[in-house]
């Protein structure tokens, strides 16, 4: 029997022993529980300099195994200081997100089972749990039963698949003949607002449509797609020989969380028989709160919609859900079954690999199922509702203050604002706000991010972390005011 020589002793091949796994498994769960109990005391933003971590790690791989004690000691010593703590309750940047206890335990089980859910038979549990869990989520969001869900890693990938299905629907034999060297193929075009996420442009690039395959539609003063401008753009493109085939509306844009007027977009999409994809990556979760369900008004006529439980449903990254009304087109775009993947039951079951570029798929549904069962619809909705209340509260402080101003409406839990000084020219005002943000972020006590609105540097405060309380929001408000006084 082959053996390894380790620290002079003869070690059998095979995995870590059961007792050792048990010991370090328990230790790590304790470690994680301590991490969450003490997370308030950690700096939100890592303060290391680029290259610091790499400089402390050996450049060559370990020749012999190391003990778990050594590995875990390095976790504390090297890895934790190099983390930006997304689970910190004062993380208000980008879209604030967080994991949760049941989500972490679900992820642990996914790693233990290590299923590759490419075919139904390679993981019946993953395939069927995904179908059931996504149907629960569909019901919670108030989407109609015609919307069938499928999990991808991220919204970027979900949207890319949706646009690929839309492209398959134009019946131009693109799957068979491709797009290059084809004088018979008109230029295909996708439409999204100027505020749409960059993932839409990346999807268009990935699908071979080129950047000019995306036409960006102007927005109104509230950063919502201008439906009249959309209609005019499509008419103009048709006259110019383009083939408009897909509109992407955003419910919850990245910069301001603005909501495109889907009910006004529907008649345009119907007139031109185009696919309507809704990017609700961030805001979709809010639709599980009955009083916010109207954010999805009109989406009952959409062809596809993406929402990210890893953003605002307390599910660890990554888990994005694409709801699609035309699973046949999605399958037609991606299914390719070589002999070695054929199974007797294939006509009766769903196999995830038929609906995307990946063959093997992680068992992601497990963590979402555990999160949904543990908190329940009411528990999840209550947390999202509280985040929106806290955002309203913060926005009211901004509104009441002579020193700050709101820069956009805040329909959900994201507030766009900045310090104001009527005496300062715009450039200096930008610099002042940048200095405030830098001061807050480098303090380690909170993390904000920024955007540009109407060419003005704008600070963003996003509330979405399961541990964020009113006290954390009060603290960041005090910190902002402290930094404002210091920056002047």
Cα separation of 326 and 108, whole Å? 33
Interaction between residue 320 and ligand PLP (CB under 6 A): yes
User: Shortest approach of ligand PLP to residue 307 CB, angstroms?
Assistant: 10
Tokens 């405030």 -> residue: 436
Interaction between residue 97 and ligand PLP (CB under 6 A): no
Interaction between residue 465 and ligand PLP (CB under 6 A): no
Interaction between residue 460 and ligand PLP (CB under 6 A): no
User: Shortest approach of ligand PLP to residue 340 CB, angstroms?
Assistant: 31
Q: Which span sits near ligand PLP by CB under 6 A: 134-142, 148-156, 362-370, 400-408?
A: 148-156
User: Shortest approach of ligand PLP to residue 87 CB, angstroms?
Assistant: 17
Name, in order, each residue with C-beta under 8 angstroms of 319's C-beta and a sequence gap of 6 or more: 151, 153, 308, 309, 310, 364, 367, 368
Q: Which span sits near ligand PLP by CB under 6 A: 52-60, 234-242, 274-282, 288-296?
A: 274-282
Interaction between residue 303 and ligand PLP (CB under 6 A): no
Interaction between residue 254 and ligand PLP (CB under 6 A): yes
Interaction between residue 98 and ligand PLP (CB under 6 A): no
Q: Which is nearer to ligand PLP, 110 or 156 (CB)?
A: 156
464 neighbors 312 (Cβ within 8 angstroms): yes
| Joined tokens for residue 191 | 């439409």
138 neighbors 300 (Cβ within 8 angstroms): no
User: Shortest approach of ligand PLP to residue 259 CB, angstroms?
Assistant: 11
Q: Which is nearer to ligand PLP, 119 or 150 (CB)?
A: 150
Interaction between residue 154 and ligand PLP (CB under 6 A): yes
Minimal CA–CA distance to 191: which of 144, 235, 239, 252?
235
Contacting residue, 87, 88, 90, 95, with ligand PLP by CB under 6 A: 95
Interaction between residue 123 and ligand PLP (CB under 6 A): no
Q: Which is nearer to ligand PLP, 203 or 372 (CB)?
A: 203
Contacting residue, 282, 312, 369, 477, with ligand PLP by CB under 6 A: 282
Q: Which is nearer to ligand PLP, 119 or 283 (CB)?
A: 283
Q: Which of residues 157-216 bind ligand PLP (CB under 6 A)?
A: 197, 199
Cβ-based neighbour number of residue 438 at 10 Å: 13
Interaction between residue 483 and ligand PLP (CB under 6 A): no
Interaction between residue 100 and ligand PLP (CB under 6 A): no
Q: Which is nearer to ligand PLP, 320 or 433 (CB)?
A: 320
Q: Which is nearer to ligand PLP, 122 or 154 (CB)?
A: 154
Contacting residue, 87, 133, 193, 250, with ligand PLP by CB under 6 A: 250
User: Shortest approach of ligand PLP to residue 158 CB, angstroms?
Assistant: 8
User: Shortest approach of ligand PLP to residue 364 CB, angstroms?
Assistant: 13
Interaction between residue 362 and ligand PLP (CB under 6 A): no
Q: Which is nearer to ligand PLP, 307 or 351 (CB)?
A: 307
Interaction between residue 219 and ligand PLP (CB under 6 A): no
With helix as H, strand as E and coil as C, how does the chain read? CCEEEECCEEEECCCCCHHHHHHHHHHHHHHHHHHHHHHHHCCCCCCCCCCHHHHHCCCCCCCCCCCHHHHHHHHHHHHHHHCCCCCCCCECCCCCCCCCHHHHHHHHHHHHHCCCCCCCCCCHHHHHHHHHHHHHHHHHHCCCCCCEEEEECCHHHHHHHHHHHHHHCCCCCHHHHCCCCCCCCCCEEEEEECCCCHHHHHHHHHCCCCHHHEEEECECCCCCECHHHHHHHHHHHHHCCCEEEEEEEEECCCCCCCECCHHHHHHHHHHCCCEEEEECCCHHHHHHCHHHHHHHCCHHHCCEEEECHHHHCCCCCCCEEEEECCHHHHHHHHCCCCHHHCCCCCCCCCCHHHHCCCCCCCCCHHHHHHHHHHHHHHHHHHHHHHHHHHHHHHHHHHHHCCCEEECCCCCCCEEEEEECCCCCCHHHHHHHHHHHHHHHHHHCCCECEEEEECCEEEEEEECCCCCCCHHHHHHHHHHHHHHHHHHC
Cα separation of 389 and 470, whole Å? 9
Interaction between residue 223 and ligand PLP (CB under 6 A): no
265 neighbors 276 (Cβ within 8 angstroms): yes
By CB under 6 A, the count of residues binding ligand PLP is 15
Would strands 188-193 and 243-250 be described as parallel, antiparallel, or unpaired? parallel
Q: Which is nearer to ligand PLP, 89 or 284 (CB)?
A: 284
Q: Which span sits near ligand PLP by CB under 6 A: 98-106, 205-213, 258-266, 277-285?
A: 277-285
Q: Which is nearer to ligand PLP, 312 or 375 (CB)?
A: 312
Interaction between residue 304 and ligand PLP (CB under 6 A): no
User: Shortest approach of ligand PLP to residue 250 CB, angstroms?
Assistant: 6
Phi, psi of 144 (to 5 degrees): -80, 160
User: Shortest approach of ligand PLP to residue 279 CB, angstroms?
Assistant: 5
Q: Which span sits near ligand PLP by CB under 6 A: 19-27, 48-56, 251-259, 411-419?
A: 251-259
Contacting residue, 97, 256, 258, 308, with ligand PLP by CB under 6 A: 308
Binding residues (CB under 6 A) for ligand PLP: these are 95, 154-156, 197, 199, 250, 252-254, 279, 281-282, 308, 320
């Amino acid at each position: 029997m082959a053996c390894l020589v380790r620290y002079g002793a003869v070690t059998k091949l095979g995995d870590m022993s059961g007792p050792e796994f048990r010991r370090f498994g328990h230790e790590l769960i304790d470690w994680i529980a301590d991490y969450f109990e003490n997370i308030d005391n950690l700096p939100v933003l890592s303060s290391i300099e680029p290259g610091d971590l790499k400089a402390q790690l050996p450049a060559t791989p370990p020749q012999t195994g190391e003990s778990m004690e050594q590995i875990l000691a390095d976790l504390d010593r090297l890895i934790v200081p190099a983390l930006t703590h997304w689970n910190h309750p004062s993380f208000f940047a980008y879209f604030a997100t967080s994991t949760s206890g049941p989500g972490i335990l679900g992820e642990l089980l996914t790693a233990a089972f290590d299923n590759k859910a490419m075919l139904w038979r390679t993981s019946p549990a993953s395939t069927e749990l995904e179908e059931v869990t996504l149907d629960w989520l569909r019901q919670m969001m108030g989407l109609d039963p015609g919307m069938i869900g499928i999990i991808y890693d991220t919204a970027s990938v979900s949207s890319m698949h949706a646009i690929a299905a839309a492209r398959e629907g134009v019946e131009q034999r693109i799957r068979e003949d491709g797009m290059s060297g084809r004088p018979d193929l008109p230029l295909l075009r996708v439409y999204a607002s100027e505020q749409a996420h960059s993932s839409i442009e990346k999807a268009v690039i990935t699908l071979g449509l080129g950047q000019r395959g995306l036409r960006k539609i102007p927005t109104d003063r509230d950063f919502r797609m201008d439906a009249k401008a959309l209609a005019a753009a499509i008419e103009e493109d048709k006259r110019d020989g383009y083939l408009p085939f897909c509109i992407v509306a955003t419910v919850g844009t990245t910069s301001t969380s603005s909501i495109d007027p889907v009910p006004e977009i529907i008649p345009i999409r119907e007139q031109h028989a185009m696919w309507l994809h809704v990017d609700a990556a961030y805001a979709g979760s809010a639709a599980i709160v009955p009083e916010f369900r109207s954010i999805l008004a009109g989406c009952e006529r959409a062809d596809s919609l993406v929402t990210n439980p890893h953003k605002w449903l307390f599910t660890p990254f990554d888990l994005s859900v694409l709801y699609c009304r035309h699973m046949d087109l999605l399958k037609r775009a991606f299914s390719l079954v070589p002999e070695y993947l054929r199974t007797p039951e294939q006509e009766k079951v769903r196999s995830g690999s038929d609906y995307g570029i990946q063959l093997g798929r992680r068992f992601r549904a497990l963590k979402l199922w555990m999160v949904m069962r543990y908190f329940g619809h009411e528990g999840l909705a209550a947390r999202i509702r509280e985040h929106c209340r806290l955002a309203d509260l913060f926005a009211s402080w901004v509104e009441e203050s002579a020193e700050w101003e709101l820069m956009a409406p805040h329909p959900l839990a994201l507030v766009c604002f900045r310090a104001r000084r009527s005496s300062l020219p715009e450039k200096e005002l930008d610099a002042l706000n940048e200095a405030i943000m830098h001061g807050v972020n480098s303090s380690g006590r909170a993390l904000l991010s920024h955007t540009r609105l109407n060419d003005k540097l704008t600070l963003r405060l996003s509330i979405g972390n399961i541990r964020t309380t009113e006290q954390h929001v009060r603290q960041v408000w005090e910190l902002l005011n402290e930094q404002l006084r210091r920056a002047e």
